[in-house]
Structures are given as structure tokens and as C-alpha cells.
Structure 1
Amino acid sequence: MSNQKLRKLFWKTWNFIVHEDSIASFVVDAILIVVLGKFVLFPLIGMLMGSAFPVVAVVSGSMDHNDMGFESWWLANQEAYESYGMGGADFEQFPQNNGFEKGDVLVIKGISVNELKVGDVIVYSVVNRRDPIIHRIVSLDPIATKGDANLGQLSFESNITPQQIHGKAVVLVPYIGWVKVGAMELFGLL
């Protein structure tokens, strides 16, 4: 194929994708967005952030403080956290100290286990669970977590190994994860 024919094909394709307002063009646009996001953008962000899970959508309410405000939330949860040696003043200094909600998105940075601190929110994998867990560290020796909204610790939250940990939450973006949550609920994956 000659350069002129290739150039003409390129511009015809470009106009179809970018400028045409048809159902076929919309479908191609959607496919391109998903493919480029999954195979280009997501891996690139992962390389930059040093994590296999650089962006995670929150799919449960285990870290939700239910808009209670810190004082009310702390009164309801004080006993659980004091059993780990944490006071309210400590908790107020933690990142994401007001929790986060289902549908929020967290940006995750890969981090050495030696850099983790009590109160950090980490993302880690658990055997036989499809989605990674996003919970707060309550102990470093051994590494253990707890969901802020959970009454107690779940069985998989104690003795977390460094190999399970994908990174630490560094940025919270509210609501934009609802696209993923909605799709997962639609297809029965939640």
C-alpha cells in the first residue's frame, strides 16, 4: 500500500473515531478507551507509582464513617482502636482519618514495608478473594489491618505478609469509582 493510501486510510479512520456521531463510532470509541486504559494507561501509572494496583475503586463500605463527623465516629469506635493502643488524638493524625466511601477511588503508591506506619491505609491481596483489601494498619508486628467501619478484625487481617502488600493510599478521589462499582453490580460481581 502506498504512503498516500495509508495517509488517506489514517485520516478516514481518525474522522470516524473522533468526529462521526454514529453508534458504530461510539462503540469503537468505548472499546478504544477500555483497551488503551487497561493495556497502556493503567500499566504506565503502575510503573510510575511502583504498584501493581496503582488505582483502586472502593467496592465496600468497610471504611465508611457514614458522615458522622470524627467525634461521633470516634465515640462509636473508640474501644476497638484503644485495644490496639490508639487514642483519638492519634487517629486524627492518620491519613484518610475520616475514612472513605464505596465508589471512591484511591491512588496507591508502592512502598517498602519498613516505611509503613500504624494508621496508613494499605492495599493488599488475600488468597481466595478476587478484589484487593483496602484497610487501615492497626499493628506493624505482625502487620495487621482493620476496616474502620467493621466491628472487629476479619480473619484475614492479621499476619499480613510483605508479599501481599501492593502499596499505601496516597490520594483519595471521591465518587469516580461508581462506574466500576455499578458495572460490577450489574454483572453480579459484587
Structure 2
Amino acid sequence: MEELKKKWRKIEKKYGILIYTVLAIILLHVFSVTSLTTYLLAILAILLLYYFKQESLLPYILGGAIAALALKTVLGLILATDYPAVSVLTSSMLHDDTTEINHYKWLEENMGYNRSYIDSWPIKNGFDVGDLPIVQGSNEYKVGDVIVYEVPGQNIPIIHRIIKINPDGTYMTKGDHNSGLLPFETSVKKEQIKGRVIFIIPKLGYFKVIFHWIFGGM
């Protein structure tokens, strides 16, 4: 074992920057990072760690990333979705003093739903920036479900509520906090949907929020 460690140190000393840079790029790709800025900043961070003689931290940093990837993969298999946990980056599902107008009144006036029906929906109290919804894949979705879906041209998934199932089988969604529909919400196809939110872990997604604020979208 000691002999292997010595050999690794020699390799690391000679090719360490290249090895860790390539590993970082691979991990960023696996995590579906699309921002060029994020790639460049990750590479810059590795170079700075080497410059300040802290290269011994790199295996732990990358080890943590690999562990997170493994956990995401296992959860994805269990919950049957590519997005088993999604950090909330916006306040579009926040419930506050605007909820009465933007959520209840809007649904009553535009969809004809009454309050008791609306309150019977899952995740009825919404969620806030930094929360971590746990998502489960499904073959069927119903009105009231909070779903995670992709929108072409956007690199951040949408986490909104189904408010109507259209005659053609597509879904209309809306953020509880929003005062109206966004252009892409009137006809969400089933193949865009990654799953429904089954419960919320408060504030556990703040690491991703901070990462997003600093480095841009993932």
C-alpha cells in the first residue's frame, strides 16, 4: 500500500493539475452543468489550490462530488427519475401574504376551483428558495400535483403545480406565488415531466442556491 501511495504521489506531482482538471470537467458534465463560466471557474479553483500548495484537498473535494453523484444515482433508481432532488432557486411556489390573491383567488376566478378543493392538493403550503423537494417519477399526474419538468432552451427545471389537464393530454401549470401563467406553462407535454414532488426538506438545497448565484445556472 505504501508503495502504491509513493507511486501515486509521483504521478500526482507530475500530472496532478491535468488529472484533477479532467476529473472536474467529467463530473461537471455528469451533473449536467451547461454554463461555460462554471467550467472555467472550476478549473481556476483547481489551479488556485495548487498555487497555494493545497493540492491535498483535491481528492477530498472530488471524493465528495463523486459521493454526491453516487447518492443522486441511487435515489434516481429508487424514485424512478433523473431528478430525485431539486433545489428551489426561485420563489415561484412561496406562500406568503400574496397567496390569497395569486393562488386562491386566481384559481377560483380562472379555473372555477373552490378553496376546499385547492387545500386538498399535495404540498398545499408551497415551499421557498433553498428548500429541497424530493421527486418521484410517475406514469400519471393529476391536477394539484407539483411537478418538475424541463423547458426547451432552459437549463433549470421548473417546479410548478398542475392546474389543468388539457384535452390533448398536455398539462397546464402555474407557480402558486405567480400572478399568472408563464408562456411555456399552457401546454406541458408528459415527456417533459421528470416526476412529482412527494415531500420537501427545508433549506437543504441552499448549497445549490449559493452555487447558482455565484457561478450561474446548472
Of the structure 1 ranges 26-35 and 91-100, higher mean CA displacement relative to structure 2 is found in 26-35
RMSD: 2.2
Partner of 1:94: 121
Structure 1 alignment gaps of length 5 or more:
1-5, 14-21
Query: Would the aligned equivalents of 1:123 and 1:133 in 2 still touch at CA under 8 Å?
Result: yes
Partner of 1:151: 179
Q: What's the CA shift string for 1:104-143, capped at 9, x where partnerless?
A: 0011000013xx1111100000001101100000001241
Aligned length: 168
Structure 2 alignment gaps of length 5 or more:
9-52
Of the structure 1 ranges 27-36 and 177-186, higher mean CA displacement relative to structure 2 is found in 27-36
Partner of 1:175: 203
State how 1:1-190 maps to structure 2 within 5 Å.
6=1, 9=4, 23-38=54-69, 40-66=70-96, 68=97, 73-75=99-101, 77-82=103-108, 83-113=110-140, 116-141=141-166, 142-189=170-217
Looking at structure 2, the residues matched to 89 and 75 of structure 1 have their Cα atoms a distance apart, in angstroms, of: 16
Give me the TM-score of the superposition, normalised by structure 1. 0.80
Looking at structure 2, the residues matched to 76 and 150 of structure 1 have their Cα atoms a distance apart, in angstroms, of: 6
State percent identity of aligned pairs: 31
1:135 is matched by which residue type in structure 2?
H
Deviation at 1:76, TM superposition (A): 5.2
Deviation at 1:7, TM superposition (A): 7.5
Of the structure 1 ranges 26-35 and 165-174, higher mean CA displacement relative to structure 2 is found in 26-35
Deviation at 1:25, TM superposition (A): 4.5
Query: Would the aligned equivalents of 1:74 and 1:88 in 2 still touch at CA under 8 Å?
Result: no
Query: Would the aligned equivalents of 2:102 and 2:177 in 1 still touch at CA under 8 Å?
Result: no
Deviation at 1:169, TM superposition (A): 0.3
Looking at structure 2, the residues matched to 43 and 76 of structure 1 have their Cα atoms a distance apart, in angstroms, of: 36
Give me the TM-score of the superposition, normalised by structure 2. 0.70
Q: What's the CA shift string for 1:65-114, capped at 9, x where partnerless?
A: 13x4xxx733553331111132111121111111100100011000013x
Over 6 Å off, 4+ runs: none
1:117 is matched by which residue type in structure 2?
K
